[in-house]
Structure 1
């Protein structure tokens, strides 16, 4: 094969995915089998597969093999009353979440500021993985005041959604007060938990939720698989007032 044979392998596999010959979830042949199929060396096959994994068309699972990406592409709507379950169910996806770690920790300076607590105040810190149709789409650290919500971690372990857990404390409605989004490269453990290539980017979403009295009740930092989600910000109500003011003309 020629020096750039990996490109031909990449393009052929990409075409087969696009045409439906390789359907989502299909496991690719092993590396030696691919070498025989394409009459190419391991380096060319490995490079082609890696390129498609970075593009989000293939998913490499350590110890299991390489699969055609089956992750859904979500249009995740962000508004004043953003709800994870409603977002997914409205698009026909089954929502799910898994608690990976939980603890009560002293609030750091930035968590305390977000929740209007004293630095060092006890807060629940949960690390959870969210799924759509069983496929990981995000990781998230969430923080709630341990004094106001003493059994928060227990309620979440029992399978209650965030909205249902707030209901248990008499909070029948809440709104998103702020949202910020930026991108960066995935870290090794994040890529592993999201089942994506480490060179694929992630979207970091930080938000603060408030009750109907304007008191912060939750703060989170979500790490989203960028190839599996597109954020849609609904309505001008999400734009801070100061950013909508017109600058006065100077004379």
Structure 2
């Protein structure tokens, strides 16, 4: 990967050496020569390739880390970081595909698990379900730029969505199916943000250590009749995600 960094370090230039190296690495990242998720050269490799000292290489990486372009993974090295997708999805009711189209990121979805639940007291209460009802549980993994981004678990009441299990929900938007097949719109939802630690399944899917921080968002969606029709939990790598909000005084 170091051969993708095309630059000459000019030791006679007034521009600091670490800044020249930072810019060379940044150019390779932003041009796509070094893609998102790729492992970057070690500090030692940079020192050899560009004839700079270890502190110069370390300072160049530190600057890129602080700017959000790269990240260090303990015991694994330094990697190109996926750009943050800021807090829009917490402020508007968009499908995952719509959000990715707006932000210009490549994406895909994989179905991890799908089954029916006859008993789930907390979920039934949130969705105002009857005891004899059941809900469809859907677990999907979302990837952005080839990297694990969010693990989404949906709970959907059968009484409102009979036959929901016949649709390919890895390839189709759940909200679009709500609209096209069941004629329901989503005027509002309620979201809660929390934190927990990674269990074995999350660690495996996200390639992190068990016990790593996990950010999760609970989402309760209401239809045009003010019925709760979908409860979801979205789990993200707590070290790799952040959200930004604009606060306006009125």
- Alignment partner for residue 196 of structure 2, among 179, 184, 196? 184
Shift of 1:172: 4.7
In structure 2, runs of 5+ residues without a counterpart are 1-17, 49-64
The match for 1:21 is 25
- Alignment partner for residue 96 of structure 1, among 108, 124, 144? 108
Q: CA contact under 8 A between 2:117 and 2:135: conserved in structure 1? A: yes
The match for 2:85 is 74
TM-score between both structures, scaled by the size of structure 1: 0.65
The match for 1:145 is 157
Q: CA contact under 8 A between 1:73 and 1:229: conserved in structure 2? A: yes
Shift of 1:164: 1.6
Q: Which runs of 4+ in 1 moved over 3 A?
A: 14-30, 55-60, 196-200, 231-236
Deviations 1:58-102 (A, max 9, x none): 576x9xx76613423111312353332222221111232211000
**Which runs of structure 2 are paired with 1:130-209 in the superposition (5 Å)?**
130-157=142-169, 159-198=171-210, 200-209=212-221
TM-score between both structures, scaled by the size of structure 2: 0.66
Shift of 1:143: 0.5
Structure 2 CA distance, aligned partners of 1:146 and 1:19? Answer: 55
Structure 2 CA distance, aligned partners of 1:150 and 1:15? Answer: 59
RMSD value, Cα:
4.0
Shift of 1:122: 1.1
| Partner-residue secondary structure (3-state), 2:168 | helix
The match for 2:57 is none
Q: CA contact under 8 A between 2:193 and 2:215: conserved in structure 1? A: yes
Deviations 1:130-180 (A, max 9, x none): 122222111111010123323323323461101221123333521333111
**Which runs of structure 2 are paired with 1:105-116 in the superposition (5 Å)?**
105-116=117-128
Residues 155 and 202 of structure 1, relative CA distance in 2, 3 Å threshold: same
The match for 2:225 is 213
Structure 2 CA distance, aligned partners of 1:85 and 1:168? Answer: 16
Residues 88 and 125 of structure 1, relative CA distance in 2, 3 Å threshold: same
Q: CA contact under 8 A between 1:180 and 1:206: conserved in structure 2? A: yes
The match for 1:228 is 241
Structure 1 CA distance, aligned partners of 2:153 and 2:181? Answer: 21
